[in-house]
C-alpha cells in the first residue's frame, strides 16, 4: 500500500441555510478544496461523497457544478461516520494504487431533510424508538450514569459546551460564534433532564471536502502534504454497548486499531476532533479514545487540558456543539480541522507545534440503536 | 491484485411486500447466500450494502439479523447501479488484500419508499423535472427516436416485454410469472405514448446478496467458484447523452473498459443480464454493450438471438420487466443470475455450456437527468 496525503481541504459556510441546495453547499466545499490544493478539476480521478437524507447521486450532483464528470463516483452512507467512510474510500483507492488523486465529500442539508423540525419516526420493528428512546433521551440516561459512576456534575456537562462555544468563537466558519457561561447553559431550555438545549448540537447545513493523493504525487502540488497515518472504519454491536452505557467497546476497539496502524498512541496526539453531539458525550470519548483512563474524563475536562492552549485540545474547531453538525459532512470536516493545525494555519485556535492529530466520528440510527453503531477514526501527521 | 470469486448467492422473494422490513428482505438474501456458500456468518470479514430510499445503516440493520457484527461495513448508493457499487466495493477489498471474504447486499422496499404510488417530486433546480421529464417521459422520447432512426416498431418494443415475461415464467423468484402476447402488451394501459404499462418494469421489493472471496480461499468452500474477470463503475456526463438519446457514451466507455479488463469481447459473452427498465431500452443496450452494431438492436431482437435458447440470451432471469426491479438490489441480482448459469444451475432457463457472462446496471436521477448517470458492469466466468 502506498502512503496517502491530504493536499486540499474546503468547507462551505455552516448554518441554517434552507435556501441552498446540496449541490450548492457541496460545490462550495469542493471549489474551496480545489483552490486550497491549487489543483484543476480535471485532475480528480475518483470521488466518494456522503449524505444521509434524500441521497441520490450526491457526488454526481455536486461535481457537475465544478465540471467533474466521467470518473468513478461512489456515494456512501454510515450515519455520522458517513464522511469518515467517504474519506476512507478515497484513501483506499489511492493507497491501493487504483488512482493517484481523489476527492472525498460530505454534505447535509438538515433544514430541508425529512426530519427537519421533527422527532424521527421509529421504524415498525424499533421497540426502543416506540418507547421514546430518542438521541437526547439516550444521552440523558448516559449523563445520569456519568453522575452516578464518575462523579460528574451538571456543571461539568455545561463546561464542555462553554469550552466548545469559546473555541467556536475563534472559528470564522462556525455556525454559532457566541460565548456562554455555565449558568447560561444550565438555564437554557431543558430538553431531557439533565440535558439542556445548549448541551445539544444544533441542526446544521453544510459540506466539507478533502483532496487526497499519493504522497509521491503530493509533492507536485504542495510543500505541506499532511500524511494519513491511519484510516479505520468499524461497525459495532449495540448489545455490547448496553453492558455499560458509559463505555463504547466499539470505540475502544477501533481506537486501538487506529493507534496500531499509525504506530503511535494517544499520548502522541497533539489535538483531537471528536463527536460531541451532546456535551456530556465528550468526556466519555476522552476515555474511549484513550486520552485518559476509564472514569477520568471528568478530571481531564476539569484540568483544562482539552481547551485550546491546553495539553491536548479537543474540538478546537468548536465541535459539533458550536461549529455545527451537518451529519455526513462532520467526518470530513473534523479531518479538515486537523489538517489546518498540522499545517500551522489554524489562526487564533492553532495548536502550537502540532505534529499529529486524530479525527473521530461515530454514529448510529437515532432511535432504535439496536441497528448497530459505526465509527471511523483517522490519524494524520505533518 | 488478487483474483476474486463469487462463492455464494442469495435472493429474497421479489414482489410487492410492504409487510416486510428491509432487515427482513435483506436477511433472507444474506441467509440464502450464506447457505449457498456453506459458510458461517462469522467468516464474513467485510460488508457493503446498497439501498436507495430511507437508507440508514442498511448493512448494520440487515446483518444484525444473522449475527454479523463488529466488522467493517459500508453503505453505498448509486441509483440503479447501487448494487453494482456494493459488489465492486467488496471486490476491491478482497482484490487489494484488505480482507479474504466479504458480502455484498442490495435491497429496496419500493412499496414503503417515499415515492410509493407517487411521481417523484423534482428538486427546485431541476428544470427538466419541472417540465415533466419523468422516466417514462424520457423513454417515450427515446422510443420515438428508435422508430425514426432505427426502424423500430411498437411491436418490437412489445416483443422485448413478451420475451422477458416468457423468461420470467421460468424463474421461480420472478415477481410476475405470466406470459403476455404482443397484443396484450400493446393494449395495456398507455403510460406515455408509445410506452404502455407492460413495457414498464414494476415496483418491486426485494434483496440480493453475493459472497466473494479470493480465488485461493474459494477452493476451501466450493468446487465451482465463479471468477470475477472485470469490475467497472463509471459516472457519466448527461450532456454527452443529449447529443443522441439513442446512444449512451457512458455505456460505450464502460463496456470497453470492462471487456479490456476481462480480456475478452462481447462476442465471447454467453449471456447478458442488463437494465431493461422500459422494454424499448433493451434494444439500445444491445448496441451500447457491443452485442451488435449501432442501429442493429432491432434486428438482433427480431432474430431471436436474445431469447433463451438463442445465440446470446439477454435477461434470461426475466429482467427488470418480469423478475422485478428493487432498485439497489438489481445490480447484485443480475450477478446472481449470471453465476447460476455459469454453475449450470439455472434450471429451465439455463444457457447451455455458459462460460462467460456479463451483468450490467445503469441508473440516474429519475427526473433531472442533469444530475449525471452512473453505470456498473461486471464480467464473470466459470
- pLDDT class of B177 with cuts at 50, 70, 90: very high
What CA–CA distance (Å, rounded) separates B375 from B361? 6
Domain for residue B125, yes or no? no
Residues composing chain B? 382
Least CA distance to A125: which residue of chain B?
Answer: B21
Whether residue B136 lies within 8 A of chain A, CB to CB, comes out as no
CB within 8 Å of A352: residues ≥ 6 apart: none
What average pLDDT does this structure show over A362-381? 77
Higher pLDDT, B371 or A323: A323
Domain for residue B65, yes or no? yes
- The model's pLDDT over B52-78, given as tens digits with 9 standing for 90+, comes to 998 889 999 999 999 999 999 999 999
Least CA distance to B53: which residue of chain A?
Answer: A54
- Residue B364 main-chain phi, psi, to 5 deg: -170, 170
**CATH code (residue A223):** 3.40.47.10
What average pLDDT does this structure show over B28-40? 97
What CA–CA distance (Å, rounded) separates B99 from B269? 30
- Residue A373 main-chain phi, psi, to 5 deg: -115, 160
Whether residues A52 and A192 fall in one domain: no
CB contacts of A78 in chain B (<8 Å) are 57, 73-75
Catalytic residue among A165, A167, A275, A325: A325
CB within 8 Å of A132: residues ≥ 6 apart: none
CB within 8 Å of B242: residues ≥ 6 apart: none
Interface probe with A: pick from B74, B86, B242, B256, most Cβ of A within 10 Å: B74
Whether residues A313 and A219 fall in one domain: no
Whether residues B221 and B238 fall in one domain: no
Domain for residue A38, yes or no? yes
Whether residues A293 and A360 fall in one domain: yes
CB contacts of B77 in chain A (<8 Å) are 55-58, 75-77
Alpha carbon of A105: minimum distance to chain B alpha carbons (Å): 14
Q: What is the pLDDT of residue A368?
A: 47
Least confident residue range of A217-221, B127-131, B266-270: B127-131
Domain range for A151 is 131-198+230-381
What Cα–Cα distance (Å) separates residue B278 from each residue in B309, B313, B375? 23, 18, 16
How many structural domains is chain B composed of? 2
Of residues B73, B125, B234, nearest to A23 (C-beta) = B125
Domain for residue A123, yes or no? no
Whether residues A367 and A307 fall in one domain: yes
Whether residues A243 and A298 fall in one domain: yes
In chain B, pLDDT over 90 holds for what percent of residues? 85
3-class secondary structure, B356: strand
Interface probe with A: pick from B78, B103, B375, most Cβ of A within 10 Å: B78
CB contacts of B235 in chain A (<8 Å) are 57, 59-60, 69-73
Cβ contact, residue pair A77, B79, below 8 Å? no
Whether residue B20 lies within 8 A of chain A, CB to CB, comes out as no
Residue with cell 456458500: B37
The pTM of the full predicted model, rounded to 2 decimals, is 0.96
Least CA distance to A121: which residue of chain B?
Answer: B54
- Asked whether residue A379 carries a pLDDT value surpassing 70, the answer given is yes
- Asked whether residue A335 carries a pLDDT value surpassing 90, the answer given is yes
Whether residues B45 and B163 fall in one domain: no
What average pLDDT does this structure show over A136-154? 94
Whether residue A74 lies within 8 A of chain B, CB to CB, comes out as yes
CB within 8 Å of A76: residues ≥ 6 apart: A48, A49, A50, A82, A85, A86, A89, B74, B75, B76, B77
Q: What is the pLDDT of residue B283?
A: 97
- pLDDT class of A372 with cuts at 50, 70, 90: low
Active site residue A371: no
Of residues A55, A85, A235, nearest to B71 (C-beta) = A235
Whether residues B287 and B239 fall in one domain: yes
- The model's pLDDT over A231-268, given as tens digits with 9 standing for 90+, comes to 999 999 877 767 788 999 999 999 999 999 999 999 99
Whether residues A173 and A312 fall in one domain: yes
CB within 8 Å of A209: residues ≥ 6 apart: A8, A9, A10, A11, A26, A29, A30, A32, A33, A103, A104, A105, A106, A332
Domain for residue A246, yes or no? yes
Q: What is the pLDDT of residue B195?
A: 97
- Buried (b) or exposed (e) across A70-100, using 16+ Cβ within 10 A? ebbbbbbbbbbbbbbbbbbbbbbbbbbebbb
Query: For residue B212, what is its C-alpha cell?
Result: 466473494
Domain for residue B126, yes or no? no
Cβ contact, residue pair A235, B55, below 8 Å? no
- Asked whether residue A68 carries a pLDDT value surpassing 50, the answer given is yes
> Where does a domain end: B183, B212, B228?
B228
Whether residues A70 and A105 fall in one domain: yes
Whether residues A19 and A55 fall in one domain: yes
- The model's pLDDT over B343-359, given as tens digits with 9 standing for 90+, comes to 999 999 999 999 999 99
Domain for residue A145, yes or no? yes
Domain for residue B124, yes or no? no
- Asked whether residue B367 carries a pLDDT value surpassing 50, the answer given is no
Whether residues B14 and B142 fall in one domain: no
What average pLDDT does this structure show over A170-174? 96
Interface probe with B: pick from A56, A99, A130, most Cβ of B within 10 Å: A56
Active site residue A57: no
Residues A323, A335: contact at Cβ < 8 Å? no
Amino acid at each position: 500500500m502506498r502512503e496517502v496525503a491530504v493536499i486540499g481541504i474546503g468547507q462551505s459556510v455552516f448554518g441554517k441555510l434552507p435556501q441552498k441546495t446540496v449541490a450548492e453547499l457541496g460545490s462550495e466545499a469542493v471549489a474551496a478544496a480545489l483552490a486550497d490544493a491549487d489543483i484543476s478539476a480535471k485532475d480528480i480521478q475518483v470521488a466518494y461523497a456522503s449524505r444521509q437524507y434524500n441521497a441520490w447521486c450526491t457526488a454526481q450532483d455536486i461535481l457537475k457544478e465544478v465540471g467533474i464528470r466521467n470518473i468513478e463516483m461512489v456515494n456512501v452512507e454510515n450515519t455520522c461516520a458517513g464522511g469518515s467512510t467517504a474519506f476512507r474510500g478515497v484513501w483506499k483507492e489511492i493507497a491501493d494504487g487504483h488512482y493517484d488523486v481523489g476527492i472525498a465529500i460530505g454534505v447535509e442539508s438538515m433544514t430541508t431533510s425529512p426530519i427537519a423540525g421533527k422527532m424521527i419516526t421509529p421504524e415498525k420493528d424499533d421497540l426502543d424508538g416506540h418507547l421514546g428512546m430518542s438521541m437526547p433521551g439516550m444521552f440523558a440516561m448516559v449523563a445520569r450514569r456519568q453522575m452516578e459512576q464518575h462523579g460528574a456534575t451538571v456543571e461539568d456537562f455545561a463546561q464542555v459546551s462553554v469550552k466548545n462555544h469559546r473555541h467556536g468563537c475563534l472559528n470564522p466558519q462556525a455556525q454559532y460564534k457566541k460565548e456562554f457561561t455555565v449558568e447560561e447553559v444550565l438555564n437554557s431550555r431543558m430538553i431531557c433532564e439533565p440535558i439542556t438545549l445548549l448541551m445539544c448540537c444544533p441542526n446544521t447545513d453544510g459540506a466539507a471536502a478533502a483532496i487526497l493523493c499519493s504522497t509521491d504525487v503530493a509533492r507536485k502540488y504542495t510543500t505541506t502534504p499532511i500524511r494519513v497515518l491511519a484510516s479505520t472504519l468499524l461497525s459495532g454491536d449495540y448489545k455490547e454497548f448496553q453492558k455499560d452505557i458509559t463505555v463504547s467497546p466499539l470505540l475502544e476497539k477501533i481506537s486501538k486499531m487506529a493507534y496500531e496502524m499509525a504506530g503511535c498512541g494517544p499520548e502522541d496526539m497533539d489535538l483531537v476532533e471528536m463527536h460531541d453531539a451532546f456535551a456530556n458525550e465528550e468526556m466519555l470519548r476522552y476515555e474511549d479514545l484513550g486520552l485518559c483512563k476509564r472514569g477520568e474524563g471528568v478530571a481531564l475536562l476539569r484540568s483544562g487540558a482539552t481547551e485550546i492552549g491546553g495539553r491536548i485540545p479537543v474540538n478546537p474547531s468548536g465541535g459539533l456543539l458550536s461549529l455545527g453538525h451537518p451529519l455526513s459532512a462532520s467526518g470530513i470536516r473534523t479531518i479538515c480541522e486537523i489538517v489546518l493545525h498540522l499545517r500551522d494555519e489554524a489562526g487564533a485556535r492553532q495548536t502550537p507545534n502540532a505534529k499529529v492529530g486524530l479525527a473521530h466520528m461515530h454514529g448510529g440510527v437515532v432511535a432504535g440503536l439496536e441497528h448497530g453503531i459505526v465509527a471511523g477514526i483517522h490519524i494524520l501527521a505533518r
